[in-house]
Amino acid sequence: MAAIVSFIGWHDSGKTTLATRVVSHLKAKGYTVAVMKSSSEVGLEFDTPGTDTHKHKIAGADSVLLVAPDQMVLQSFQKIDSLQTMAHRFFPEADIIIAEGFKRARKIAKIEVIRDIDQKIRDEVTGVIALATNISGIRGDYVFRLDESEEIASFIEKRFLGEDARNKETTSLFVNGQKVPMKDFIQRSLAGTVHGYVNSLKVTEHIDEIELTIKFRK
């Protein structure tokens, strides 16, 4: 499954502007990029000029998903609580998924965008791997300026799109909508077992990918 990197920050922090630039850079590098955006507002318009979703489309995103309290709108050339499940279900072909918001999502890498020193989120959430800010004096392992979108795209590429990262996970397991972490040997064992059964059905000569959903009825 593709890695997810979410840009978080207060309203008007500049996260949409920065995220769309990063999307453009990753697209220019040849990657398939999907975008997922969360919002607490209702009655939002989707894909009209000036909206955040339209900005992501213009930036070159292959797919855009808006998640708001009153709607979930997917644009790609059942409401699901888990960010990983949504990504796995709607964007299986994406190389990378750039998200906006979802600050409370667990086990998701996040880049915090900060314009006001008093509006920090990283002490309240998990998974913050980098900061983007023009405020001097802020310290961290990876701190970028707001105009360093290309450097941030390269950081994401190195961390999540290199050969080691891309080959790290070959099998994904979701139980009741939640992703179950598996060690490499368990991934190989599960994949080999399912592949063996499917291969015995002789439905195709060459198998690149298998999707399996099992529902237990009471």
* pLDDT at residue number 167: 55
* Contact criterion met (CB below 8 Å) for 143 and 111: no
Six-digit token string for 159: 């961390």
> What's the one-letter identity of residue 84?
Q
Domains in the chain (CATH in brackets) are 3-40+81-166 (3.40.50.300), 169-217 (no CATH)
How far apart are the C-alpha atoms of 65 and 35, rounded to whole Å? 6
* Contact criterion met (CB below 8 Å) for 18 and 130: no
Residue owning tokens 């190195």:
158
| Sequence-separated (6 or more) residues with CB below 8 Å from residue 26 | 33, 95, 96, 98, 153, 156, 157
* pLDDT at residue number 84: 78
pTM of the full predicted structure? 0.65
Six-digit token string for 76: 């790609």
Residue owning tokens 């500049």:
14
Q: Give Cα 186 to chain centroid, integer Å.
A: 24
- Quote the Cα angle for 186-178-152, to 5°: 90
| Sequence-separated (6 or more) residues with CB below 8 Å from residue 200 | none
Phi then psi dihedrals of residue 95, to 5 deg: -80, -35
How far apart are the C-alpha atoms of 19 and 122, rounded to whole Å? 18
* pLDDT at residue number 78: 47
Strands, E, within the chain: which ranges? 3-8, 33-38, 63-68, 71-76, 96-100, 109-114, 128-133, 143-144, 173-175, 178-180
- Quote the Cα angle for 86-209-160, to 5°: 55
For the chain, 218 residues long, give each residue's pLDDT as a single digit of tens.
688 999 999 888 899 999 999 999 999 999 999 998 887 777 777 778 888 888 888 888 888 888 888 877 777 664 556 777 778 777 877 899 999 988 888 889 999 999 888 877 878 899 999 999 999 988 888 999 999 999 999 999 999 998 665 555 678 888 876 778 888 889 889 999 999 999 899 888 888 888 787 888 77
The region that residue 50 occupies, defined by phi over 0 for left and psi between -120 and 50 for alpha, beta otherwise, is left
